[in-house]
């Protein structure tokens, strides 16, 4: 990860030229932190004493983090519904399955809904994961109305007294208006029978600043409550996650770092920030 390692080392050196500051600035922007946050950090760093470098950077970054609760909401005695949203290719369907695995490990009963009906592979993929972790999936015919799948799923979840219904939704952002209408319909159909407790937006950490644009669209359309950042096992440094938290005040709730079903962990702020420096 090491997003701030170069900045940290530069401050510790006690002497940084204008060219070096500009090189660090460019590297932070290219690491998906964005111009606004990068300039805030550089301005702060220029007045920081070398001996205080690590503490000063960590203190500044902590200010960017959301103050909202990072745990998944749970109300005993009824079905708690989670919508997993995001564009295709971010790891949305896999994250849905990983989240189900995580919640099941907490001794909760789970039902999955395959509401990404326009991508046949998504339904098959979710079913394969579900078979592995031992949970049931509600799905419809190919190209079925996603809201009808959601309705069937919440009806079954309530009848069976399931703790969590986790809904994988469509993510065709290239038809943005239609997608948002579809998601809005799914939301309304479920809420006629039971509250929607979480709307988790999946962002690919390698997406770059486009992740900010995705966040803005989904937040406006369906009221996102938290983030899942995926693909942090490669060269991605998590900068876009920090930028989204700072811009929108939304908490990262989970981080995905691999292909295994267990490779989804609750967000640990201290560990994450340490990783940005080491």
200 pairs with which residues across the strands?
84, 226
Predicted local confidence at residue 238, as pLDDT: 67
Highest mean pLDDT among 127-141, 198-212, 254-268: 127-141
- Domain residues of the chain, as ranges? 2-64, 80-267
> Would the pLDDT of 227 be above 50?
yes
Of the pLDDT bands very low, low, confident and very high (cuts 50, 70, 90), residue 192 is: very high
Coil, strand or helix at 58: helix
Over 50: is that where the pLDDT of 226 sits? yes
Average pLDDT of 171-176?
63
Q: Whole-prediction pTM value?
A: 0.89
16-50 residue pLDDT tens: 888 988 988 888 887 777 788 889 888 888 888 88
CATH class, range 80-267: alpha beta
Domain 2-64, architecture per CATH: Up-down Bundle (1.20)
Share in percent of the chain as helix, strand, coil (round to 5): 50, 15, 35
What does the pLDDT read at residue 155? 98
Pairing outcome for strands 252-256 and 226-230: parallel
* Per-residue pLDDT tens over the stretch 78-134: 999 999 999 888 889 999 999 999 999 999 999 999 999 888 788 999 999 999 999
Confidence (pLDDT) at 76: 96
Higher pLDDT, 51 or 32: 51
Q: What is the pLDDT of residue 16?
A: 82
| Strands of 35-109, DSSP E | 80-85
The residue among 237, 175, 195 whose CA lies nearest residue 37 is: 237
DSSP 3-state of 230: strand
Computed over every residue of the chain, the mean pLDDT equals: 87
- The sign of the CA dihedral 127, 167, 222, 268 is negative
Q: How far is CA 252 from CA 32, 48, 217, 243, 265, in A?
A: 16, 28, 17, 11, 11
What pLDDT does residue 136 have? 97
pLDDT at 1: 45
* 3-state SS assignment for residue 256: strand
């Amino acid at each position: 990860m090491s997003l701030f390692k170069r900045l940290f080392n530069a401050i510790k050196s006690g002497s940084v030229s204008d060219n070096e500051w500009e090189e660090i600035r460019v590297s932070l922007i290219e690491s998906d932190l964005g111009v606004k946050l990068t300039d805030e950090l550089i301005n702060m760093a220029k007045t920081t004493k070398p001996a205080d470098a690590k503490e000063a950077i960590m203190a500044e970054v902590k200010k960017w983090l959301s103050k909202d609760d990072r745990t998944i909401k749970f109300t005993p005695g009824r079905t708690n519904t989670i919508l997993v949203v995001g564009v295709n290719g971010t790891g949305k369907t896999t994250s849905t399955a990983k989240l189900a695995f995580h919640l099941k490990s907490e001794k909760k009963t789970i039902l999955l809904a395959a509401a990404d009906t326009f991508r046949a592979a998504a339904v098959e993929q979710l079913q394969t994961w579900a078979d592995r972790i031992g949970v049931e999936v509600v799905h419809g015919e190919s190209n079925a109305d996603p809201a009808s799948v959601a309705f069937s799923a919440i009806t079954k979840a309530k009848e069976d007294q399931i703790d969590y219904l986790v809904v994988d939704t469509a993510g065709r952002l290239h038809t943005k208006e239609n997608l948002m209408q579809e998601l809005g319909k799914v939301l309304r159909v479920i809420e006629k029978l039971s509250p929607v407790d979480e709307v988790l937006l999946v962002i690919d950490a390698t997406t770059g600043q486009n992740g900010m644009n995705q966040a803005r669209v989904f937040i406006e359309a369906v009221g996102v409550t938290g983030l899942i950042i995926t693909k942090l096992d490669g060269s991605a440094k998590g900068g876009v996650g920090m930028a989204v938290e700072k811009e929108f005040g939304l908490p990262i709730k989970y981080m995905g770092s691999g292909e295994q079903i267990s490779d989804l962990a609750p967000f640990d702020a201290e560990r994450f920030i340490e990783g940005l420096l080491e």
